[in-house]
Each structure stands twice: as C-alpha cells, then as structure tokens.
Structure 1
Amino acid sequence: MKAIDFGNKLTEKNNCYYYLRTIFSKISIKHNIVCLLLALFFITAPLKYNLNSISVILLLGYSVVKYKDFKVKKFWEFYPFYLYYFIVCFSIFYTANIENGFKYFLNQVPFLIFPFIFSTITVKEKALKKIIRIYIYWICALIIYSELSTIWSILANGDSLFLLFRKDYSYIDLANKIDIHPPYMMLQVSFCIIYLISNFKTSSIHKFLSIAILLLMFFYSVHLSSRMPLAALVLVSIFLTYLKFKTPYGKIKTVFSLILLGLVFSFILFNVRSTRYRFQELIGMQYSNGVYIKSGYSKIIQWESAIEGNKNFIFGNGAGDANQSIIESNYKNNLLKSARLSYNAHNQYIQTYVGIGIIGVVILLFLLYSSFLQPSKKLLYLTAKAFIIYLIIVFMTESYLERHHGIMFVSFILCLFNSKEDR
C-alpha cells in the first residue's frame, strides 16, 4: 500500500486556498474601485464643472485600462446615444461658427463616453443601492447647507427671517450657495425623490428616515422656485405614489392620502412667496412697485422667436450656430432682454430643432423612448420610467443638454437606466 504524503497534500491545499483567495481579492478590489468611481461621480454631480469632469475622466480611464472587459454587444445596445451624438457631429460640417461647433462637439461627448463606460464596467445592484443612498444623503447635506447659508445671509444683512421666502433669498440666490443654477439642482433633487418613492418600503425600518428626507427635499424644491421642474415633479410623484401604494393600502385610502398631502403641499407653496409669485406671473401679476409681469405669454413669444431662428427644417443651422441664431431672431422680434442676456430657447426640443433640425428632435425623442422601454435593473425599473417621463415634461421649458450639469447628469442616468441587470 502506497504511503500518503501529507506534506504534499497540505501544500497543494494551501496553494489552492491562496489561489482562490487571490482571485476573490482581485474581484473585490475591482468591484470596490468601480463603486468608488461611481460614488465620486454622484458626489461631484451638483458641484463645480471641473470636479465632476475629473470624476468622469477617472471613470473613463479605468474603463480604458479594463478594455478587455468591454462587451461589444452591450455597447451596441446604446446605439440611440451615439446616433444622437453622430447627428451632432455631422452638423459641425455645416456650422458657420466652427469654434462654437467644436465646443458643442466636446460638450456632447458624454453621449459617447458613458455607453463605453457602462459597456465595460459591471455594477451590482446591491452596490448601486448603497451608492445612490450615499448620493441622497449628500444631496440632503447640500440642501441643509444651502438653507443655513441663506439664513446666515439674512441675519448678516440685518433682515428679518420672515424674508427667507422672498425672491432675493430664494430661487437663484438659494442655488448659488452651492454654485448651481436652480433647474439643474432640481434635476438632481427630483431624481432622488423619484427614487425614494419608487423604492419606498412600508415595512422597512428606514421608512421614517425616507419620509423625513422626502419632506426636506419637497420643501427645498418649493423654495428653489423652478416652475416647470417643480410642476413635473409633483405630477410624476402623485402618479408614482398612487401606483406604489394602491395595492398595499387600497385605492380609496391612497387617493385620500394624496389629497391630504396635496393640501399640505399647497399650504407650503402658498407661504413660499417667491414660488407662489413665479406661478402667478404665468397668467399675469402686478407687484406693489407697479411692475407687471406676464411670463407665460412671454415664454410662448420667446419659443416662437427661437423657432424662427432655424433656417433648415431638416438639418438645422448647425449645433454651433443654434444659440447665435436664437439671439439674432430675438433681436429681430424685439425681444431685447432675451437677446442681451443671450438666452437659449428654454426648451430642449426647440433648441435641438434650431441646432440639428427635425432629425435631431426625432432622434432625441427616440433616445428617450428607447430608454423608457429598456428593461432596467430591478432597483431602478420604476425610477427609470418615472424619471424619463419627468424629463420629457421638463424639456418643454429647460434646455438641459446645453450646460455641463445637465448634459453629464442626464446622459449618465439614462445610460445607467439602459445598463442591464448585473447581480
């Protein structure tokens, strides 16, 4: 009978153990790096452009290093994104202002970068849940900082705290505390609210924390005084809440609860004067100093003027000439304030139409439609549907794809929605 060499067996076992440990260690490190980079993107999303750009460069750099993980099939599933980017690139050839055209070409590059990144990295649902939770806490911290900074400014100026909801301490001034334009902050706050409602669990021990965060974010949304984003958020939230709670609580109880919440929201809206006045301005309002504002009609005139700026129905004037064409049309139509302040169309569909024509608008709508139909991760399934509906609505008054905060966040989130389930 052959003797057993226990020494060799033990060595072989140790080698096996070391090999497996090394593999799991590498997987863990690789996974942690991806989570860290994604968390960094979310944290820098509401901050200054350069910080967020650094996070994107790091994500891209990591994806390039891990090019062997790149999945061609997965990349082709993002074709609406680079189809949109292709039409932007094509418009550079007939853009008169080449410098602006090249800048626009670079600004829209996230529609090509993020599909590549999400075709290379793997995001597990459990990890994504933690990352989004960190992001929500971060947005809460920025909200509290913004509100406290505003209160400090009021006290420093020797004013009464009753002026907290006046226009000069709300809207643009409130968002400026964290160096971001109100609609772009609303974009990120809206994502958080929609995510929290979509993933709200009545039996969870975190439900009271979720309710507290939702109340804080809704209050801040009203205080930001950004009209269409707020209106879209309320509409989507009502519909989402009804879908989410009609089964566990029943339709009647859910509707009754929504009515009560609507009354509370209306009370807050009425008492936040800056927001209430901005909504009243839509139909016409005269202030005590004699100034009369009817911004609803003015907005329609502004849109008509922007549409007139397009000289090519099919292909548009060229992405780099869109803003200049709108400014010239505003001068021509005697919209001097809009022209002097270099306002864009304040409507993403019209802005796209002027720059890359009706083809661009169709492709943009197709991008949103295909993203809506994509089978997103289970965690984001309801969030994706609701947030895309929100985008379709707010694009009617906001040109989100013209500034860094909008381009980066919208393209990133849509690609995240389009990424397949990774368990």
Structure 2
Amino acid sequence: MKTFSLKKNSFYILVLISMFPLLPKAVESILMILFFLVSLIIFFKNKKHCCKSNVFQVFNLSSLFVIYLISTLYSENLSEAFNFILRVTPIFLFALTLGILNPIITKKKKKFLLNTYFFSVFTALLIVHTHLIFNVSGEITSWEYRNAFEEYTKVHGTYFSLWTGFAVLIILNKVCNLKFNKKNFIIISLYLIVLSYCIYWQFIIAARLPLFVTLLLSFVLLLKQLEKRIAIYIFFMAITLALVIGFVNLNTIKNKIDFKIPQGKYELKHNVMSSEDIRAGIYFCSYKIIKQSVLYGIGIGDVNDNLNKCYESEIDSDVYQIFHYNSHNQYLQIILASGLLGLLFFLYNLLILLKLSIRNKDNLFFALNMFLIICFFTENILSRHDGVIFYSFFTAIFYFNKEV
C-alpha cells in the first residue's frame, strides 16, 4: 500500500474516532489502536518528514500520563495503578501520533472532524430521545429520567453533558462566523434549532456545572462577536441580573454553602444529606491524605484505597460504603497521586494550551480549554474513559493543527 494512501486511510480512522458519542467503548479502543499502528507504519516509511521538533510538545501534552506513570513507582496497589495508566494512555497516544508519527491535522481537516463530532452528538441525542419516548412511560422525576438516559447510553450524565456542551460551542462558533443575511437565514435557523435541542438535553441530564459552563462560554463567545461598546453594556447588565438573582435566592445559596460532613445511616438520613455534604466528607479525607505527602503524593494506585479507609475510619456515615466516591476534583486527584510537583506540571500543560489558543485567536480552542479547566474542579474528568477520549482527542487536534 502506498504511503499517501496510508495517510488518507489514517485520517478516515480519525474521523471514525471523532464519532465516539455514537460508538461502543470497545470500538473506540480498537480504532485508537488501529490509528496508532497505521501512524507507526507511516512514520517508519517517512522518517525524513517526521516532526522530531515536537518531542517537547508531546511530552507536555502527555503530562497526566507522565505524572501517573511516575507515581506508579511508589504505589503499593500496582494493579490499580496500571488500570489508571491504561485508562489515560490515549492522552499519550494521540499526542505521539498527531505530534510526531503522523502529523496530518490541517485547518480543513480539523474543521471536518469538529463537524463530524457535533453531528454525532446530535444524532446520539436523537437516538436516545426516540428510545426513551417508546420505552419510558408515565410521569417520572428528572433523576429517574437521567438514570434511564445513562442506562441506555452507558455514559455518565456529566460526561455526556460535557460532550453536548462542546457541541453547543461548536455550533455557536459556526453561527458567529456566518453573516446574518437572507442567504444564510435558513442555515443559521437550523443551527440555532440544533443548539437549542442540545441545551435542552443538558437541562434534562441535569449535570449542573457542564450546563452552567456551556451557558457562560456561549455568552463569552457572543460578547466577542459584538461591538465593544455593546459588549460592555451587555456584560454589566448580566452582572447586575446575576446579583439580583443571587440576592433573591440568598437563603438557597446560604444552604448550599453551609454544608457539613455526613453523619448517620444513609437509609435514614438521605433526605437531608446533600451532595455538598458528601463532597465535604470527600474533601476532608483528601486533606488528611495530602498531609501525608504534600510534595510527591501517595501514588495513583493508592488514592482510592486511602480515601475508602478514611471514609470508614474518620466519617460516621455509611454513605461512602454504599456508593463509591473518588476525589471528585481532577486537581485534587493529581495532588493526592503526585503531590504539588505533579499538579504544577499538569497546570503548566493547561497554561500552555490556554496561551496557544489566545495567541492563535482560536475562540473555540479557548472555549474548550476553559470548559475543561472549570469542570476539573468538580469531577475527575480524566478518571473515566469517556472523559479521557474527549480530552485527549480534542487537545491533540487543536494543539497540533497546522494552519494551512
């Protein structure tokens, strides 16, 4: 098979990977391995054209993989450590293939991949919607509806909301780049219908932070497209409105802030035990574990084991035995595993990505970075396959994009 044909086929594989919202996890894994192997063949056939200058960039983009790999050296639970390493391997593989082995991403190809992705998210939502209409009957709570959604898709609601939120930003970015005239009226109207449908599903899934960040970044993207004077006026109007809403709902906000560590049996206390209370217990135990090794952490393989031991010995509630709770904060997870040194390396990677998006004036890349940076505060996005493939795929696509 000729080299140019291999390159063409490798891009087709990448297109299939961009459809991961529609694909079973096993298929995603097979496609990623296939893309790596094809890229490896291309590399050995084209050594003269390889991008050895990207070695540092690949190392930087693979920061989490490197952090976890090093922390494995002092983990006691090696089985758990290797599971984490395997889970975050796509971060390294996408960086290596698109940065050195097979640097094929151009501006045109990036655009095609983004279009394929948002079409896949929209199609997936339509399929799920159709299934739920015919299989879920009667009046049910939003929580039960979310459970039915997760059971059918096999994807945690927070992660699907994250995928959907980025699809919204892709569509909005398209709309902002179109001229508002009669010729584009139908296209813009269709885009806005799709955008509204995606946001509707974010409300249904009810993952609060991804929804909030989607709306916030959508607002920022719109402001960037408006005249400076109008943008400043709208910004201050929004701030004023937010302050008024906050004042009206002051008691609700106080209750959210006034959380306490859970006590008692979950069966008896679940009605008064909020998610904020549960997180308070998680952060309490995380703090106690971090004090054991602030600089280097305790090793990625031992994080969950130590959290579970702390839940059992330090917190007078069985909620942490009934349900499994990790650190629920990506930054906290890295400090627990690799200490402040690991966190600084990871933050350096995020800063490089953010600076690159600003330097290239790439609004969508900037929005992606901000989306991840904010959502990392409440979820271990990179502890599940669904979060890893989203992060690793798009950061590599944007990072190694050649503007030609």
Normalising to structure 1: TM-score of the pair? 0.79
- 2:9 corresponds in structure 1 to 33
* RMSD after superposition: 3.1
- 8 Å CA contact 2:98–2:400 kept in 1: the answer is yes
AA matched with 2:319: K
* Residue identity in the other structure for 2:68: V
Distance 1:195 1:45, change over 3 A: same
**Compared with structure 1, are the counterparts of its residues 51 and 93 closer, same or farther at alpha carbon in structure 2 (3 Å cutoff)?**
same
Superposition deviation, residue 404 in structure 1 = 0.9
**Matched residue type, 2:151:** N
1:365 aligned partner? 347
- State whether structure 2 residue 373 is matched by structure 1 residue 392: yes
Match of 1:356 in 2: 338
Query: Residues 185-334 of structure 1 correspond to what in structure 2 (within 5 A)?
Result: 185-200=160-175, 201-203=177-179, 205=184, 206-246=187-227, 250-251=230-231, 282=256, 291-310=271-290, 311-334=292-315
Distance of 1:283 and 1:258 partners within structure 2: 23
Matched to 1:52, the amino acid is E
- The AA in structure 1 aligned to 2:163 is Q
* In structure 1, distance between residues paired with 2:235 and 2:192: 18
Rounded to whole Å, the distance in 1 between the matches of 2:395 and 2:116 is: 19
User: How far apart are residue 340 of structure 1 and its match?
Assistant: 3.6
Change (3 A) 1:356 1:305: same
The corresponding residue for 1:74 is 54
Counterpart in the other structure of 2:80: 100
Distance 1:26 1:237, change over 3 A: same
Structure 1 partner of 2:324: 342
What are the Cα deviations for residues 357-407 of structure 1, in whole angstroms up to 9, with x where unaligned? 1212111211111111125896x9111111111111111110011111111
Deviations 1:338-368 (A, max 9, x none): 2442211111111111111121211121111
Partners of 1:153 and 1:309 lie apart in 2 by 45
Q: TM-score, normalised by structure 2?
A: 0.82
Q: 1:401 & 1:84 partners in 2: Cα distance?
A: 9
**Residue deviations 1:221-257, cap 9 Å, x none?**
111111122222222221222112346x943786699
1:42 — aligned with what? 18
Other-structure match for 1:168: 144
Report if aligned partners of 1:400, 1:407 keep a CA contact under 8 Å in 2: yes
Residues 94-128 of structure 1, C-alpha deviations (whole Å, 9 max, x = no match)? 10011111222222222321111112231222232
Cross-structure match for 1:405: 386
Q: Output the CA distance in 1 between the equivalents of 2:255 and 2:204.
A: 16
The alpha-carbon distance between structure 1 residues 346 and 83, as it changes in their structure 2 partners (threshold 3 A), is: closer
User: Which piece of structure 1 moves more, 104-113 or 341-350?
Assistant: 104-113
Aligned with 1:33: secondary structure?
A: helix
Q: 1:88 aligns with which of 68, 71, 75?
A: 68
Contact 1:46 1:180 in 2 (8 A): no
- Alignment check: 8 A CA contact 1:322 1:354 kept: yes
76-85 or 384-393, which deviates more: 76-85
CA distance in 2, matches of 1:115, 1:413: 10
Flag the 1:126–1:181 CA change in 2: closer, same or farther, 3 A.
Answer: same
Residue 61 (1) aligns with residue 43 (2): no
Does 2:155 align with 1:180? yes
Q: Secondary structure at the match of 1:407?
A: helix
Deviation by residue 1:249-305 (Cα, 9 ceiling, x = unmatched): 94378669989x99xxx9xxxxxxxxxxx99994699xxx99234322332232222
1:147 aligns with 2:129: yes
Matching residue of 1:127: 109
Tell me which amino acid in the other structure corresponds to 2:174.
N
* Rg (Cα) greater in structure: 1
* Distance 1:58-1:422 versus aligned 2 partners, 3 A rule: farther
Distance 1:179 1:407, change over 3 A: same
SS at match of 1:421: coil
In the alignment, is the contact (CA less than 8 A) between 1:102 and 1:320 conserved in 2? yes
- Give the secondary-structure state (helix, strand or coil) at the position aligned to 1:177: helix
Distance 1:399 1:284 in 2: 24
Once residues 246 and 293 of structure 1 are traced to their aligned partners in structure 2, the CA distance between those partners, rounded to angstroms, is 47
Q: Distance in 1 between matches of 2:3 and 2:85?
A: 37
Structure 2: segments with no counterpart, 5+ residues: 246-251, 260-268
Distance 1:142 1:366 in 2: 35
What is the aligned length? Answer: 371
Closer/same/farther in 2, CA of residues 109 and 173 from structure 1, 3 Å limit:
same
Counterparts of 2:136 and 2:236 in 1: how far apart (Å)? 39
Residue number in structure 2 paired with 1:415:
396
Asked if 1:114 corresponds to 2:94, the answer is: yes
Segments of structure 1 that go 5 or more residues without pairing to the other structure are: 1-24, 267-277
Residue 265 of structure 2: aligned partner: none
SS of aligned partner of 2:297: coil
- Identity over aligned pairs, percent: 19
Residue type of the partner of 2:278? Answer: S
